Chains A and B, each alone.
Chain A
Amino acid sequence: MSVLEVNNLRKGFGDTEVLKGISFSLEKGQVLAIIGSSGGGKSTLLRCLNFLESPDEGEIWVDGKQLLSDSEEEVRQNRLHFGLVFQNFNLFPQYSVLENITLAPTLLKRSSPEEIRKRAMGLLEQVGLTQKADAYPYQLSGGQQQRVAIARALALNPQILCFDEPTSALDPELTGEVLRVIRGLKNGGNTMIVVTHEMEFARSVADRVIFMADGVIEEMGTPEQVFDDPQSEKTRVFLRGAQEKF
Protein backbone atom coordinates (compact mmCIF):
# COMPACT_ATOMS: atom_id res chain seq x y z
CA MET A 1 0.00 0.00 0.00
CA SER A 2 1.17 3.52 -0.70
CA VAL A 3 2.40 5.55 2.23
CA LEU A 4 1.17 8.75 0.54
CA GLU A 5 -1.78 9.35 -1.70
CA VAL A 6 -2.72 12.79 -2.98
CA ASN A 7 -6.09 13.18 -4.67
CA ASN A 8 -7.15 16.06 -6.85
CA LEU A 9 -5.37 18.74 -4.87
CA ARG A 10 -6.39 22.27 -5.83
CA LYS A 11 -5.09 25.59 -4.61
CA GLY A 12 -5.57 29.12 -5.84
CA PHE A 13 -4.41 32.52 -4.70
CA GLY A 14 -7.12 35.05 -5.43
CA ASP A 15 -8.08 34.54 -9.04
CA THR A 16 -5.04 32.52 -10.12
CA GLU A 17 -5.24 28.76 -9.87
CA VAL A 18 -1.80 27.48 -8.95
CA LEU A 19 -2.56 23.78 -8.43
CA LYS A 20 -5.20 22.49 -10.81
CA GLY A 21 -5.97 19.03 -9.49
CA ILE A 22 -2.80 17.18 -8.50
CA SER A 23 -2.99 13.44 -7.88
CA PHE A 24 -0.18 11.01 -7.28
CA SER A 25 0.92 8.34 -4.85
CA LEU A 26 4.19 7.28 -3.34
CA GLU A 27 5.38 3.94 -1.97
CA LYS A 28 7.24 3.60 1.27
CA GLY A 29 10.99 4.03 0.80
CA GLN A 30 10.61 5.60 -2.60
CA VAL A 31 12.08 8.90 -3.68
CA LEU A 32 9.96 11.18 -5.82
CA ALA A 33 11.65 13.98 -7.74
CA ILE A 34 9.53 16.90 -8.88
CA ILE A 35 10.90 19.01 -11.72
CA GLY A 36 9.39 21.82 -13.70
CA SER A 37 9.84 25.37 -14.75
CA SER A 38 9.55 28.36 -12.47
CA GLY A 39 6.07 29.21 -11.25
CA GLY A 40 4.70 25.76 -12.07
CA GLY A 41 3.44 25.20 -8.53
CA LYS A 42 6.11 22.87 -7.12
CA SER A 43 6.68 24.86 -3.94
CA THR A 44 2.97 25.36 -3.47
CA LEU A 45 2.47 21.60 -3.66
CA LEU A 46 5.10 20.95 -0.97
CA ARG A 47 3.66 23.74 1.16
CA CYS A 48 0.23 22.15 0.91
CA LEU A 49 1.63 18.80 1.97
CA ASN A 50 3.18 20.50 5.00
CA PHE A 51 0.04 22.55 5.68
CA LEU A 52 1.76 25.88 5.25
CA GLU A 53 -0.99 26.50 2.71
CA SER A 54 -4.46 25.07 3.04
CA PRO A 55 -5.66 23.49 -0.19
CA ASP A 56 -9.02 24.59 -1.57
CA GLU A 57 -9.95 21.07 -2.50
CA GLY A 58 -8.59 17.55 -2.48
CA GLU A 59 -7.33 14.88 -0.12
CA ILE A 60 -4.01 13.95 1.39
CA TRP A 61 -3.82 10.38 2.69
CA VAL A 62 -0.90 9.08 4.71
CA ASP A 63 -0.96 5.45 5.80
CA GLY A 64 -4.67 5.27 5.06
CA LYS A 65 -5.58 8.36 7.07
CA GLN A 66 -7.00 11.54 5.54
CA LEU A 67 -5.04 14.48 6.91
CA LEU A 68 -6.75 17.67 5.78
CA SER A 69 -8.66 19.24 8.62
CA ASP A 70 -10.15 22.55 9.69
CA SER A 71 -8.92 22.28 13.26
CA GLU A 72 -5.67 24.09 13.96
CA GLU A 73 -4.64 21.51 16.56
CA GLU A 74 -5.27 18.59 14.18
CA VAL A 75 -3.28 20.32 11.49
CA ARG A 76 -0.40 20.71 13.91
CA GLN A 77 -0.47 17.00 14.69
CA ASN A 78 -1.02 15.91 11.10
CA ARG A 79 1.81 17.90 9.62
CA LEU A 80 4.23 15.83 11.69
CA HIS A 81 3.78 13.04 9.14
CA PHE A 82 5.83 15.31 6.89
CA GLY A 83 9.11 17.10 7.25
CA LEU A 84 10.21 20.03 5.11
CA VAL A 85 13.67 21.27 4.26
CA PHE A 86 13.62 24.81 2.89
CA GLN A 87 15.64 26.33 0.11
CA ASN A 88 17.20 28.86 2.50
CA PHE A 89 17.57 26.56 5.52
CA ASN A 90 15.69 28.73 8.04
CA LEU A 91 17.77 27.60 10.98
CA PHE A 92 17.05 29.37 14.26
CA PRO A 93 19.98 31.79 14.64
CA GLN A 94 19.93 32.06 18.43
CA TYR A 95 20.32 28.30 18.96
CA SER A 96 23.41 26.20 18.49
CA VAL A 97 23.41 23.45 15.90
CA LEU A 98 22.55 20.87 18.52
CA GLU A 99 19.80 23.02 20.02
CA ASN A 100 18.29 23.61 16.58
CA ILE A 101 17.85 19.86 16.31
CA THR A 102 16.64 19.20 19.84
CA LEU A 103 14.26 22.16 20.19
CA ALA A 104 11.19 20.69 18.52
CA PRO A 105 11.48 17.16 19.97
CA THR A 106 11.94 18.74 23.39
CA LEU A 107 8.86 20.96 23.02
CA LEU A 108 6.87 17.98 21.75
CA LYS A 109 8.16 15.93 24.71
CA ARG A 110 9.09 13.12 22.38
CA SER A 111 11.38 11.44 24.91
CA SER A 112 13.75 12.24 27.75
CA PRO A 113 16.25 15.09 27.25
CA GLU A 114 19.17 12.62 27.21
CA GLU A 115 17.47 10.45 24.61
CA ILE A 116 16.74 13.47 22.42
CA ARG A 117 20.30 14.67 22.73
CA LYS A 118 21.72 11.26 21.91
CA ARG A 119 19.53 10.97 18.87
CA ALA A 120 20.48 14.49 17.73
CA MET A 121 24.15 13.62 17.99
CA GLY A 122 23.47 10.50 15.94
CA LEU A 123 21.80 12.61 13.26
CA LEU A 124 24.71 15.04 13.24
CA GLU A 125 27.01 12.13 12.63
CA GLN A 126 24.81 11.03 9.78
CA VAL A 127 25.13 14.45 8.10
CA GLY A 128 28.85 14.67 8.98
CA LEU A 129 28.70 17.60 11.38
CA THR A 130 29.53 16.14 14.79
CA GLN A 131 32.30 18.71 15.12
CA LYS A 132 29.85 21.58 14.74
CA ALA A 133 27.36 20.63 17.44
CA ASP A 134 28.08 23.74 19.49
CA ALA A 135 28.53 26.17 16.60
CA TYR A 136 25.90 28.77 15.75
CA PRO A 137 24.30 28.92 12.31
CA TYR A 138 26.16 32.07 11.25
CA GLN A 139 29.43 30.22 11.75
CA LEU A 140 28.52 27.59 9.15
CA SER A 141 28.71 27.52 5.38
CA GLY A 142 25.47 27.25 3.42
CA GLY A 143 26.04 23.57 2.76
CA GLN A 144 26.63 22.90 6.44
CA GLN A 145 23.54 24.89 7.39
CA GLN A 146 21.45 22.88 4.99
CA ARG A 147 22.78 19.63 6.43
CA VAL A 148 21.80 20.82 9.91
CA ALA A 149 18.35 21.68 8.57
CA ILE A 150 18.06 18.13 7.26
CA ALA A 151 19.06 16.69 10.63
CA ARG A 152 16.56 18.99 12.32
CA ALA A 153 13.76 17.72 10.09
CA LEU A 154 14.80 14.10 10.64
CA ALA A 155 14.74 14.52 14.42
CA LEU A 156 10.95 14.29 14.37
CA ASN A 157 10.96 11.04 12.37
CA PRO A 158 8.67 12.23 9.60
CA GLN A 159 7.24 9.50 7.40
CA ILE A 160 7.84 11.63 4.34
CA LEU A 161 10.64 14.16 4.09
CA CYS A 162 10.17 16.97 1.56
CA PHE A 163 12.91 19.15 0.09
CA ASP A 164 12.18 22.39 -1.75
CA GLU A 165 15.19 23.06 -3.97
CA PRO A 166 17.61 22.20 -1.17
CA THR A 167 20.68 23.26 -3.15
CA SER A 168 19.39 26.31 -5.02
CA ALA A 169 20.70 28.80 -2.48
CA LEU A 170 24.15 27.22 -2.40
CA ASP A 171 27.36 27.96 -4.21
CA PRO A 172 27.94 25.26 -6.84
CA GLU A 173 30.85 23.73 -4.96
CA LEU A 174 28.64 23.17 -1.90
CA THR A 175 25.75 21.36 -3.57
CA GLY A 176 27.58 18.05 -3.64
CA GLU A 177 27.75 17.61 0.12
CA VAL A 178 24.01 18.19 0.49
CA LEU A 179 23.07 15.90 -2.39
CA ARG A 180 25.31 13.19 -0.90
CA VAL A 181 23.39 13.41 2.37
CA ILE A 182 20.07 13.08 0.55
CA ARG A 183 21.38 10.10 -1.36
CA GLY A 184 22.46 8.57 1.93
CA LEU A 185 18.95 9.03 3.30
CA LYS A 186 17.52 7.16 0.35
CA ASN A 187 19.84 4.26 1.03
CA GLY A 188 18.64 4.38 4.61
CA GLY A 189 15.10 3.73 3.39
CA ASN A 190 13.60 7.20 3.87
CA THR A 191 10.58 8.18 1.83
CA MET A 192 11.26 11.53 0.21
CA ILE A 193 9.90 14.13 -2.16
CA VAL A 194 12.57 16.34 -3.70
CA VAL A 195 11.82 19.43 -5.75
CA THR A 196 15.00 20.12 -7.67
CA HIS A 197 16.58 21.73 -10.68
CA GLU A 198 19.48 19.25 -10.55
CA MET A 199 18.44 16.98 -13.39
CA GLU A 200 21.35 14.56 -13.06
CA PHE A 201 20.60 14.15 -9.39
CA ALA A 202 16.89 13.67 -10.03
CA ARG A 203 17.63 10.98 -12.59
CA SER A 204 20.04 9.09 -10.40
CA VAL A 205 18.30 9.26 -7.04
CA ALA A 206 14.60 9.18 -7.87
CA ASP A 207 12.36 6.15 -8.23
CA ARG A 208 9.63 8.30 -9.71
CA VAL A 209 9.76 11.66 -11.46
CA ILE A 210 6.98 14.18 -11.87
CA PHE A 211 7.20 17.04 -14.33
CA MET A 212 4.90 19.90 -13.33
CA ALA A 213 3.87 22.79 -15.51
CA ASP A 214 1.21 25.42 -14.95
CA GLY A 215 -0.31 23.66 -11.99
CA VAL A 216 -0.79 20.24 -13.50
CA ILE A 217 1.24 17.06 -13.60
CA GLU A 218 2.33 17.05 -17.19
CA GLU A 219 4.30 13.84 -17.04
CA MET A 220 4.91 11.15 -14.43
CA GLY A 221 6.94 7.96 -14.48
CA THR A 222 10.28 6.36 -13.83
CA PRO A 223 13.36 8.53 -14.48
CA GLU A 224 13.96 6.60 -17.71
CA GLN A 225 10.43 7.25 -18.93
CA VAL A 226 10.44 10.95 -18.12
CA PHE A 227 13.98 11.82 -19.10
CA ASP A 228 14.60 9.48 -22.04
CA ASP A 229 11.18 9.09 -23.53
CA PRO A 230 8.97 12.03 -22.58
CA GLN A 231 5.47 11.87 -24.00
CA SER A 232 4.46 15.49 -23.61
CA GLU A 233 5.76 18.30 -25.78
CA LYS A 234 6.06 20.58 -22.74
CA THR A 235 8.33 18.09 -21.04
CA ARG A 236 10.53 17.80 -24.10
CA VAL A 237 10.88 21.58 -24.36
CA PHE A 238 11.68 21.86 -20.67
CA LEU A 239 14.29 19.10 -20.74
CA ARG A 240 15.95 20.54 -23.82
CA GLY A 241 16.13 23.91 -22.06
CA ALA A 242 17.55 22.32 -18.93
CA GLN A 243 20.22 20.56 -20.96
CA GLU A 244 21.32 23.71 -22.71
CA LYS A 245 21.91 25.37 -19.37
CA PHE A 246 24.66 22.91 -18.52
Chain B
Amino acid sequence: MFIPVTMELLGGFWESIKVFVLTLVFSIPLGLVVCFGSMSKWQPFRRLSDTRLHALSKWMPLRLVTRTFVWIIRGTPLMLQLIIIFYGPGLMFDLPSMGRFTATIVAFAINYACYFSEIYRGGIESIPQGQYEAGQVLGMTKSQIFFKVVLLQVFKRILAPMSNEIITLVKDTSLARIIGIYEIIWAGEQFIKKGLIWPLFYTGAFYLIFSGALTILFGKLEKKLSYFRG
Protein backbone atom coordinates (compact mmCIF):
# COMPACT_ATOMS: atom_id res chain seq x y z
CA MET B 1 0.00 0.00 0.00
CA PHE B 2 2.88 2.37 0.73
CA ILE B 3 3.75 3.18 -2.87
CA PRO B 4 0.21 3.98 -4.08
CA VAL B 5 -0.45 6.07 -0.97
CA THR B 6 2.77 7.96 -1.52
CA MET B 7 1.87 8.59 -5.16
CA GLU B 8 -1.59 9.83 -4.20
CA LEU B 9 -0.26 12.12 -1.48
CA LEU B 10 2.49 13.47 -3.76
CA GLY B 11 -0.22 14.42 -6.24
CA GLY B 12 -2.09 16.32 -3.50
CA PHE B 13 1.08 17.88 -2.17
CA TRP B 14 1.95 19.17 -5.62
CA GLU B 15 -1.31 21.16 -5.53
CA SER B 16 -0.45 22.50 -2.08
CA ILE B 17 3.00 23.56 -3.27
CA LYS B 18 1.55 25.31 -6.29
CA VAL B 19 -0.79 27.31 -4.06
CA PHE B 20 2.09 28.08 -1.72
CA VAL B 21 4.52 29.28 -4.38
CA LEU B 22 2.04 31.28 -6.44
CA THR B 23 0.64 32.95 -3.31
CA LEU B 24 4.13 34.11 -2.37
CA VAL B 25 4.95 35.25 -5.90
CA PHE B 26 1.91 37.53 -5.94
CA SER B 27 1.49 38.54 -2.32
CA ILE B 28 5.05 39.64 -1.57
CA PRO B 29 5.03 42.50 -4.13
CA LEU B 30 1.31 43.17 -3.68
CA GLY B 31 1.95 43.55 0.04
CA LEU B 32 4.37 46.36 -0.73
CA VAL B 33 1.70 48.18 -2.72
CA VAL B 34 -0.80 47.76 0.12
CA CYS B 35 1.87 48.90 2.56
CA PHE B 36 2.52 52.13 0.63
CA GLY B 37 -1.23 52.71 0.51
CA SER B 38 -1.59 52.30 4.25
CA MET B 39 1.31 54.70 4.85
CA SER B 40 0.15 57.25 2.27
CA LYS B 41 -0.01 60.82 3.51
CA TRP B 42 -1.98 62.04 0.50
CA GLN B 43 -4.32 64.82 1.60
CA PRO B 44 -6.42 65.99 -1.35
CA PHE B 45 -8.06 68.78 0.68
CA ARG B 46 -4.91 70.07 2.28
CA ARG B 47 -5.56 73.54 0.92
CA LEU B 48 -8.65 73.87 3.09
CA SER B 49 -6.59 74.01 6.27
CA ASP B 50 -7.19 77.74 6.73
CA THR B 51 -10.92 77.62 6.01
CA ARG B 52 -13.96 76.53 7.98
CA LEU B 53 -13.63 73.09 6.39
CA HIS B 54 -10.23 72.60 8.01
CA ALA B 55 -11.30 69.25 9.47
CA LEU B 56 -11.33 67.90 5.92
CA SER B 57 -7.79 69.09 5.23
CA LYS B 58 -6.23 66.32 7.31
CA TRP B 59 -8.28 63.62 5.60
CA MET B 60 -6.10 60.88 4.07
CA PRO B 61 -8.49 58.85 1.91
CA LEU B 62 -5.95 56.42 0.45
CA ARG B 63 -4.67 55.52 3.90
CA LEU B 64 -8.20 55.16 5.26
CA VAL B 65 -9.41 52.94 2.42
CA THR B 66 -6.31 50.74 2.55
CA ARG B 67 -6.36 50.33 6.31
CA THR B 68 -10.07 49.50 6.29
CA PHE B 69 -9.46 46.90 3.61
CA VAL B 70 -6.59 45.39 5.59
CA TRP B 71 -8.75 45.33 8.70
CA ILE B 72 -11.52 43.45 6.86
CA ILE B 73 -9.18 40.91 5.31
CA ARG B 74 -7.26 40.27 8.49
CA GLY B 75 -10.40 40.28 10.61
CA THR B 76 -12.31 37.58 8.71
CA PRO B 77 -11.42 33.95 8.04
CA LEU B 78 -9.47 33.11 4.92
CA MET B 79 -11.95 30.27 4.40
CA LEU B 80 -14.81 32.76 4.12
CA GLN B 81 -12.81 34.85 1.66
CA LEU B 82 -12.11 31.76 -0.46
CA ILE B 83 -15.77 30.89 -0.69
CA ILE B 84 -16.85 34.44 -1.50
CA ILE B 85 -14.20 34.92 -4.18
CA PHE B 86 -15.06 31.61 -5.80
CA TYR B 87 -18.85 31.81 -5.74
CA GLY B 88 -19.40 35.55 -5.32
CA PRO B 89 -18.75 36.89 -8.84
CA GLY B 90 -21.11 34.36 -10.40
CA LEU B 91 -23.93 34.71 -7.89
CA MET B 92 -23.74 38.45 -7.46
CA PHE B 93 -22.84 39.69 -10.95
CA ASP B 94 -23.50 36.72 -13.22
CA LEU B 95 -19.85 36.63 -14.18
CA PRO B 96 -18.34 33.41 -15.54
CA SER B 97 -16.40 31.46 -12.94
CA MET B 98 -12.68 32.13 -12.84
CA GLY B 99 -12.02 28.52 -11.94
CA ARG B 100 -11.16 26.92 -8.62
CA PHE B 101 -7.46 27.30 -8.85
CA THR B 102 -7.46 30.92 -9.94
CA ALA B 103 -9.95 31.80 -7.22
CA THR B 104 -7.71 30.12 -4.67
CA ILE B 105 -4.66 32.09 -5.75
CA VAL B 106 -6.61 35.37 -5.82
CA ALA B 107 -7.96 34.82 -2.31
CA PHE B 108 -4.65 33.67 -0.86
CA ALA B 109 -2.66 36.43 -2.55
CA ILE B 110 -4.95 39.19 -1.27
CA ASN B 111 -5.10 37.71 2.22
CA TYR B 112 -1.37 37.28 2.55
CA ALA B 113 -0.61 40.62 0.93
CA CYS B 114 -2.56 42.27 3.75
CA TYR B 115 -0.63 40.40 6.42
CA PHE B 116 2.69 41.13 4.71
CA SER B 117 1.81 44.80 4.30
CA GLU B 118 1.47 45.18 8.05
CA ILE B 119 4.81 43.47 8.61
CA TYR B 120 6.45 45.74 6.02
CA ARG B 121 4.87 48.78 7.61
CA GLY B 122 6.08 47.80 11.05
CA GLY B 123 9.58 47.31 9.64
CA ILE B 124 9.68 50.59 7.77
CA GLU B 125 8.26 52.58 10.66
CA SER B 126 10.77 51.07 13.06
CA ILE B 127 13.73 52.59 11.22
CA PRO B 128 14.84 55.66 13.17
CA GLN B 129 14.19 59.03 11.54
CA GLY B 130 17.91 59.75 11.96
CA GLN B 131 18.76 57.25 9.22
CA TYR B 132 16.68 59.19 6.69
CA GLU B 133 18.08 62.49 7.90
CA ALA B 134 21.67 61.27 7.70
CA GLY B 135 21.02 60.24 4.10
CA GLN B 136 19.37 63.56 3.27
CA VAL B 137 22.18 65.60 4.75
CA LEU B 138 24.62 63.59 2.64
CA GLY B 139 22.78 64.68 -0.48
CA MET B 140 21.11 61.38 -1.28
CA THR B 141 17.87 61.27 -3.21
CA LYS B 142 14.74 59.77 -1.67
CA SER B 143 15.11 56.57 -3.66
CA GLN B 144 18.80 56.28 -2.81
CA ILE B 145 17.91 56.60 0.86
CA PHE B 146 15.25 53.91 0.51
CA PHE B 147 17.31 51.43 -1.48
CA LYS B 148 20.82 52.06 -0.12
CA VAL B 149 20.12 52.91 3.50
CA VAL B 150 16.73 51.72 4.68
CA LEU B 151 15.84 48.61 2.69
CA LEU B 152 18.38 46.13 4.06
CA GLN B 153 17.68 47.26 7.61
CA VAL B 154 13.96 46.72 7.05
CA PHE B 155 14.65 43.34 5.47
CA LYS B 156 16.62 42.25 8.50
CA ARG B 157 13.91 43.42 10.88
CA ILE B 158 11.02 41.73 9.08
CA LEU B 159 12.76 38.44 8.44
CA ALA B 160 11.49 36.73 11.60
CA PRO B 161 7.82 37.79 11.31
CA MET B 162 7.88 37.01 7.59
CA SER B 163 9.20 33.53 8.20
CA ASN B 164 6.42 32.94 10.75
CA GLU B 165 3.81 34.04 8.26
CA ILE B 166 5.28 31.99 5.43
CA ILE B 167 5.33 28.85 7.55
CA THR B 168 1.70 29.51 8.44
CA LEU B 169 0.98 29.70 4.72
CA VAL B 170 2.36 26.18 4.22
CA LYS B 171 -0.37 24.88 6.49
CA ASP B 172 -3.08 27.30 5.33
CA THR B 173 -2.90 25.87 1.80
CA SER B 174 -5.09 23.01 3.09
CA LEU B 175 -8.00 25.46 3.32
CA ALA B 176 -8.21 25.47 -0.48
CA ARG B 177 -10.10 22.14 -0.40
CA ILE B 178 -13.20 24.07 0.65
CA ILE B 179 -13.61 25.18 -2.96
CA GLY B 180 -12.49 21.87 -4.37
CA ILE B 181 -8.72 21.98 -4.67
CA TYR B 182 -7.48 18.44 -4.25
CA GLU B 183 -4.67 19.19 -1.81
CA ILE B 184 -2.75 16.72 0.30
CA ILE B 185 -5.06 16.32 3.30
CA TRP B 186 -7.98 15.61 1.03
CA ALA B 187 -5.81 13.05 -0.74
CA GLY B 188 -4.95 11.47 2.61
CA GLU B 189 -8.60 11.39 3.66
CA GLN B 190 -9.45 9.22 0.67
CA PHE B 191 -7.88 6.29 2.48
CA ILE B 192 -10.19 6.52 5.46
CA LYS B 193 -12.86 4.89 3.31
CA LYS B 194 -10.50 1.97 2.97
CA GLY B 195 -10.03 1.86 6.72
CA LEU B 196 -6.54 3.36 6.72
CA ILE B 197 -5.58 6.11 9.18
CA TRP B 198 -1.81 6.15 8.71
CA PRO B 199 -1.91 8.05 5.38
CA LEU B 200 -3.21 11.04 7.36
CA PHE B 201 -0.24 10.92 9.69
CA TYR B 202 1.87 10.55 6.60
CA THR B 203 0.53 13.88 5.24
CA GLY B 204 1.75 15.45 8.47
CA ALA B 205 5.25 14.27 7.60
CA PHE B 206 5.09 16.13 4.30
CA TYR B 207 4.21 19.36 6.11
CA LEU B 208 6.90 18.81 8.71
CA ILE B 209 9.61 18.24 6.15
CA PHE B 210 8.58 21.22 4.08
CA SER B 211 8.28 23.66 6.99
CA GLY B 212 11.49 22.26 8.43
CA ALA B 213 13.29 23.06 5.19
CA LEU B 214 11.88 26.59 5.27
CA THR B 215 13.00 27.04 8.87
CA ILE B 216 16.53 26.07 7.89
CA LEU B 217 16.44 28.42 4.92
CA PHE B 218 15.30 31.37 7.03
CA GLY B 219 17.87 30.52 9.66
CA LYS B 220 20.57 30.74 6.98
CA LEU B 221 19.28 34.11 5.78
CA GLU B 222 19.21 35.42 9.32
CA LYS B 223 22.77 34.29 9.82
CA LYS B 224 23.80 36.01 6.60
CA LEU B 225 22.44 39.30 7.94
CA SER B 226 23.94 38.92 11.39
CA TYR B 227 27.08 40.77 10.34
CA PHE B 228 25.45 44.02 11.41
CA ARG B 229 23.10 45.15 14.15
CA GLY B 230 20.34 47.65 13.86
Contacts and interface: CB of A to CB of B under 8 A. Distances in A.
A107 B144 contact: yes
B137 A94 contact: no
Given A103-B148, A138-B229, A79 B131 contact: no
Contacts of B128: 90
Interface string A90-121: 11111100000001100110000000000000
B152 interface: yes
B interface, by DSSP: helix, strand, loop or mixed? helix
A104 B139 contact: yes
B201 interface: no
Contacts of A94: 152-153, 156, 228, 230
Nearest to B151: A94
B227 interface: yes
B228 A138 contact: yes
B200 interface: no
Given A52-B137, A156-B138, A136 B148 contact: no
A92 B152 CA distance: 10
B134 A86 contact: yes
A86 B136 contact: no
Nearest to A83: B137
Contact of B137 (A50, A93, A107): A50
Interface string B134-156: 10111111001000110011001
A180 interface: no
A93 B230 contact: yes
Contact of A79 (B134, B137, B144, B230): B137
B140 to A, nearest CB: 6
A88 B153 contact: no
Contacts of A76: 136, 139, 141
Interface in A32-91: 50-52, 76-77, 79-80, 82-84, 86, 88, 90-91
Contacts of B228: 93-95, 136-138
A136 B227 contact: yes
Contacts of B139: 76-77, 79-80, 104, 107-108, 156
B205 to A, nearest CB: 39
B138 A52 contact: no
Contacts of A153: 137-138
Given A80-B139, A136-B227, A93 B153 contact: yes
A103 B138 contact: yes
Contacts of A152: 138
Interface string B188-230: 0000000000000000000000000000000000000001111
B130 interface: yes
A86 B144 contact: no
Nearest to A88: B130
A87 B130 CA distance: 10
Contacts of A77: 139
Nearest to B137: A84
A44 to B, nearest CB: 13
A141 to B, nearest CB: 14
Contacts of A138: 228-230
Nearest to A162: B137
A93 B149 CA distance: 9
Contacts of A80: 139
A104 B133 contact: no
B133 to A, nearest CB: 6
B134 A90 contact: yes
Nearest to B131: A90
A27 to B, nearest CB: 23
Interface of B: 128, 130-131, 133-134, 136-141, 144, 148-149, 152-153, 156, 227-230
Closest 4 CB pairs of A and B: A93-B230, A104-B138, A90-B134, A90-B130
Interface of A: 50-52, 76-77, 79-80, 82-84, 86, 88, 90-95, 103-104, 107-108, 136-138, 152-153, 156
29 contacts: A50-B137, A52-B136, A76-B139, A79-B137, A79-B139, A80-B139, A82-B137, A83-B137, A84-B137, A86-B134, A88-B130, A90-B128, A90-B134, A93-B153, A94-B153, A94-B228, A94-B230, A103-B138, A103-B148, A104-B139, A104-B140, A107-B139, A107-B144, A136-B227, A136-B229, A137-B228, A137-B230, A138-B228, A156-B138
Given A93-B228, A94-B156, 9 more contacts: A52-B137, A80-B139, A88-B130, A90-B130, A91-B134, A92-B131, A92-B134, A92-B149, A156-B139
